[in-house]
Amino acid sequence: MGYHVEIDKKSGFCSGVIQAIRCAEKALEGNKKVYSLGAIVHNNEELRRLQEKGLNIIRHTDLPTLPKDATVLVRAHGEPPSTYAQIEQHGLHLLECTCPVVLKLQKKIKQEHTRIKPHNGQIILFGKKGHAEVVGLIGQVGGDALVIENETDVNSLVFTGGPVSLFSQTTKNPEHYKATAHQLRKTITSRGLDPSLLTVFNTICAQVDNRHEELAHFARNRSLILFVAGKESSNGKVLFQTCKSANPRSYAIENPEGISQKWFRSGDTVGVCGATSTPLWLMEQVAETVRNMP
């Protein structure tokens, strides 16, 4: 039938993921074994490619079982201090691949906790509970932080009357974060506390922040969107909703096998885009599959 297909040039790996994958590939040269603490990227297709090069995905409980001098990769999401202590305790080599943006945020949360704790202060983190980045962030303060996932969660917070510092996981939706910060300020005021107690830190990665507006523009200007991302990608879920809001004919797939011909109409202009954990080569495979469709 012949569809016009275009890949969003601004989609795909963010700089933090690119750095982590380059870090892993360099360490894997010469058939060296590298153990990644959790999936280095939330994309099964890219994971398979790296595993074929010798990357092993492990859990924290596997650390004591690794051979001495084994190389353990800390991925872009980051880890709490307890993980580094374990790596050292078991005599393992650390391969530090934490995203610089996440490292900066970890440091900031720790500094802010030190500043406000003597004044009965509280750290609140807008993020996905249990997400690797979130675990690493609250680990910086020994778990002394409250995690909220949406505006509704604000209602269940108990305030101590001291300063409140709000941070966001780096890959969250900027508009949702603004709405949550607004709700938090309203709730603090409604409970008779001074709203100036709240400090909101802009900690969403600039690449992610810009991507929402760019992705919405891309989706609006195509008749059909194929959004490529792994099911485990938190950022993928967020960005797909941006696509879906801009263009109801947006479909989430993990690979070319997920494409259904039922979605297409004659003369469609097809846009292919993805999450910060989606490799360009995979989006190219999806685009080529559509171009070759009968």
Q: What structural domains and CATH numbers belong to the chain?
A: 4-12+207-291 (3.40.1010.20), 15-98 (3.40.50.11270), 101-169+171-204 (3.40.1010.20)
Per-residue pLDDT for 88 more than 80? yes
Indicate the average pLDDT of the chain. 94
Q: Any idea which residues carry the catalytic annotation?
A: 133
Write phi, then psi, for 91 (nearest 5 degrees).
65, 35
Largest CA distance in the chain: 68
Starting at the edge strand found earlier in the chain, the sheet holding 224-228 runs 4-7, 269-274, 224-228, 250-253
Q: What is the pLDDT of residue 194?
A: 95
| Residue 138: predicted pLDDT | 98
pLDDT of residue 1: 57
- Strand-pair category, 224-228 with 269-274: parallel
- Whether pTM > 0.85 for this model: the answer is yes
The packing angle between helices 100-116 and 132-139, to 10°, is: 40
Give CA–CA dist 47/222, Å, rounded: 30
What would the mean pLDDT of 87-115 be, rounded to a whole number? 96
Coil/strand/helix, residue 239: helix
Compute the average pLDDT of residues 38-46.
90
| Spatial distance between the Cα atoms of 12 and 117, rounded to a whole number of angstroms | 39
**Angle CA(250)–CA(210)–CA(48) in degrees, nearest 5?**
60
Q: What is the pLDDT of residue 49?
A: 93
Is residue 2 scored above 80 in pLDDT? Answer: no
Per-residue pLDDT of 204-245, as tens digits, reads 998 888 888 899 999 999 999 999 999 888 889 989 999 999
Query: Could you give the percent of the chain with pLDDT greater than 70?
Result: 99
Residues 6+ apart with CB under 8 A from 208: 14, 170, 171, 172, 174, 235, 276
Q: Give the residue among 219, 211, 214 at the shortest CA–CA distance from 271.
A: 219
Tell me the mean pLDDT in the region 83-102. Answer: 95
Cβ proximity of 137 and 105 under 8 Å: yes
- DSSP for 194-218 reads -GGGEEE---S-HHHHHHHHHHHHH
